Amino acid sequence: MSTVVLADDPKLDPQVFRERLDADVRVAALDAPEAFRAAVRAHGADAVVTNGGIDVTHALLAGLDTLAVYGQVSIGLDNVDLDAAAECGVTVTHAPAYCVDEVATHGIALLLACVRDVPAQDRRVRGGTWSEWAGRDLHRLAGDTVGLVSFGDIARGVAERLRGFGVDVVAYDPYVDGDVMAEHGVEKASAEGLREAADHPSVHAPLTDATRGLVDAAWFDALPERGVVVNTGRGGVVDEAALLAALDAGSVAAAGLDVFETEPPEASALVGREDVVATPHMGWYSVEARGEANGTVAADIGRVLVGADAEHAVEPEEW
């Protein structure tokens, strides 16, 4: 019988794997390289599944001869060295579409919370302040331009949700044709064009060498003072030091952040500010999304264990 080791993580549901796989499913701490390697060897694991809390490198995978497949209950795989996995003969699979609805909705929620200053106003009322004049000046959203950084499924969901708000939507994604964007009522722009056009940039890009630090001081300098920055993609795409400086200078009104360069962002000066709405990388979460993510990865693990191809396997050139 095959053995599958799951990370001890609340996002993973061992029962789903036990129901769907003819395998011995074990749960272990996998949050450090030594623990990961020890668990694979101790159980003779054919498959390992995590939530992405560990860097999957050549050093991690080398010599783990029983390991055939690594699954991650996430969309993003920026923590995985796909070349190393291929070299070590390990199939990598994930759940590429499990939380599109949730993250798109969360992005809209962060945008609106920032534009209307909702969390800060709520705190003021709870503290005994009842005044519509407390806090910063608020501006009308209708007539503004929202700029989408990347135009995958989540960004397309955001564009669809924005249709009723009277805003223009532009997007930067070098891998998506303008005709595809036009089908969603979105205008294609270069990175520079988006930077100049957007009143409110919304980041949905994965973290790659090309996107790291993409949204930087030049972007914030180009925003109007009412501008809001939203990030539900990856923290490293936004230059957080530059964002902090822009907020301090008042050149950006607010930021809605579900992701940070370091998570949890214990030392980040962005957290706790009146002009930052922060959530703990939970834009993905719903009961339904958790079930779908586990089910998708479990199904692919099952395919690999019987010698078939994983439906959602990722090759190095695809990421």
Judgement on whether residues 264 and 141 belong to the same structural domain of the protein: yes
The total domain count for the chain is 2
State the catalytic residue, choosing from 234, 240, 261, 303: 234
Question: Annotated catalytic, 234?
Answer: yes
Judgement on whether residues 145 and 55 belong to the same structural domain of the protein: no
pLDDT in tens, 47-76: 999 999 899 999 999 999 999 999 999 999
Task: Indicate the pTM of the whole model.
Answer: 0.92
Amino acid 26: pLDDT: 96
Regions of the chain short of the pLDDT cut 50: none
State the catalytic residue, choosing from 139, 273, 281, 312: 281
Pairing of strands 69-72, 47-50: parallel
Q: Domain span at residue 74? A: 3-98+287-306
Question: Annotated catalytic, 94?
Answer: no
Question: Annotated catalytic, 281?
Answer: yes
Judgement on whether residues 91 and 233 belong to the same structural domain of the protein: no
State the catalytic residue, choosing from 87, 183, 263, 315: 263
Amino acid 319: pLDDT: 64
Judgement on whether residues 80 and 192 belong to the same structural domain of the protein: no
CATH code for the domain of 90: 3.40.50.720
* Cβ–Cβ under 8 Å, residues 255 and 274: no
Cα–Cα distance, 229 to 174 (Å, whole number): 21
| b/e burial code for range 65-88 (CB count within 10 A of at least 16 → b) | eebbbbbbbbbbbbebbbebbeeb
